[in-house]
Structure 1
């Protein structure tokens, strides 16, 4: 990146944040702190109103904005792909907003680039799936960003419904679902709410003060149940690839065997692992432990009983 592009990128970076330290900017751009200081000084000499506050960092003067940024053709491709992938994980109302944003980008592209984007869109697809019935993600995002109270009716795994008033902290996607992480005023603790079990969602004008500095990546790494159990499973080669893609609690080791690949599987619950292994049929064989084998026998017998009559 040449210096002119870097200075422009630095303005955009500051424009997207309230404050930022020189150290954070250096890490983001892969530069030294000294180079960041020189770039900030150059921007100041060029008339860009950058404010500095000791112990806080740098910020742009309120009201200073760059003219609208033109997207490159490659950036439009990336956003078009993002819209396509979002269709599998979000609702119609959310997809409409993403499509509207993409349409605005298309509007400023040259005609030839628009045509190429249309060709690309026809040449890409994901399996057709029904949109999941879930709470409006845009409302949940607004509650998190603006720290506004939410209320809704929640149906737990036992089909019991209760009314909740919550302080939204985060929105994470795992195990094929969106989950709202929020402080529940009914339970007086943080709770994990599956968005497909939320009904009658309402956003309130009342604001709240965040109880913790929630970080979604940290939650995914440490907030889910620890995978302290280990299982030895031999997978056929084709099934081994599926195991690497699907088993979210991790694989500790792999070893080639004549009949397939021996994997050490991390697990927090034998029942969940057994249910998933059954979906692989004879392509997966458990060697240990005996507890997992017994769980597989019990689930198999339950399935067999459904079709015995």
Structure 2
């Protein structure tokens, strides 16, 4: 990105936020704080009314806006891809809003760019699998952004039902599902609600004061088990490719051998690793330590006990 484009992007970044620190801007653009200071100064010299407040950060003077900026063809491609991916992870009503936004972008593109975008859309696809019904994400987002109370019926993993009133704090996607993180007035604590278990969702006019400065990235980092254990496992090449895609706790080393690919897998407990390795059958062989071998034997014997021979 050249400097002119970066300065324009910096104005748009400031325009989309009330205040932001030089450190946050530097992290967003992948630049040094010193470079951000120089860019802020250059914008000020060019007449852009940037306000600075010690201990708080930078902001644009109220009322200052850039004129509407047309999307580039490459940006339209990126958003089209985003709509396609959203269709796999969101609700039908949310997809309609995404498609409406994309249609507005198409409307301002030149005819040739529109045709190329349509051609791209025909050439891209994701699996058309059925996804479980889930709560309307746009309602959950509104509750978070406007601090409005939510109520719903919730079905737990054990199939029990309860009525909940919650103060929404965040919306996080992990393990193939959207999760609402909210303060539950019934439990008097923060709870993690899977959106496909939420029914009869209601958004209320009552507003609340946020109990914490929730950050989705911090939540994911803190809620992920620490992978303090490691195991060496030999895979046949095809299974090694599966491991690279599926083993979510990380792979720290990989060595090619005549017998296969030996990987060092991180894990938080032997049980979950053994369960996953068993799903690969004879395509994976645990080499070390003895603890993972013992756990594989234990789980294998438990499986065999379910199918006694006659």
TM-score (structure 1 length as normaliser): 0.88
Report deviation, 1:173.
1.5
Post-superposition Cα deviations, 1:169-195, rounded to whole Å, max 9, x if no partner, equal 222111111111222221122221111
Q: Secondary structure at the match of 1:186?
A: coil
Deviates more, 1:281-290 or 1:53-62: 281-290
Contact 2:278 2:296 survives alignment (8 Å): no
Distance 2:39 2:265 in 1: 49
Q: How does 1:142-181 map to 2 (within 5 A)?
A: 142-181=142-181
Q: Decide whether aligned partners of structure 1 residues 193 and 209 sit closer, same or farther in structure 2, where only a CA change above 3 A counts.
A: same
Report deviation, 1:56.
1.4
Report deviation, 1:38.
4.6
Q: Secondary structure at the match of 2:159?
A: coil
The equivalent of 1:242 in structure 2 is 242
Distance 2:231 2:26 in 1: 44
1:291 aligns with 2:298: no
Distance 2:273 2:196 in 1: 23
Distance 1:289 1:279 in 2: 15
Distance 1:3 1:247 in 2: 40
1:216 aligns with 2:216: yes
Q: Decide whether aligned partners of structure 1 residues 22 and 299 sit closer, same or farther in structure 2, where only a CA change above 3 A counts.
A: same
Contact 1:87 1:131 survives alignment (8 Å): no
Q: Decide whether aligned partners of structure 1 residues 269 and 37 sit closer, same or farther in structure 2, where only a CA change above 3 A counts.
A: closer
Contact 1:236 1:260 survives alignment (8 Å): yes
Q: Decide whether aligned partners of structure 1 residues 37 and 235 sit closer, same or farther in structure 2, where only a CA change above 3 A counts.
A: closer
Report deviation, 1:271.
4.7
Unaligned runs of 5+ in 2: none
Contact 1:91 1:131 survives alignment (8 Å): no
TM-score (structure 2 length as normaliser): 0.88
CA RMSD of aligned residues (A): 2.4
Report deviation, 1:42.
4.3
Distance 1:247 1:213 in 2: 31
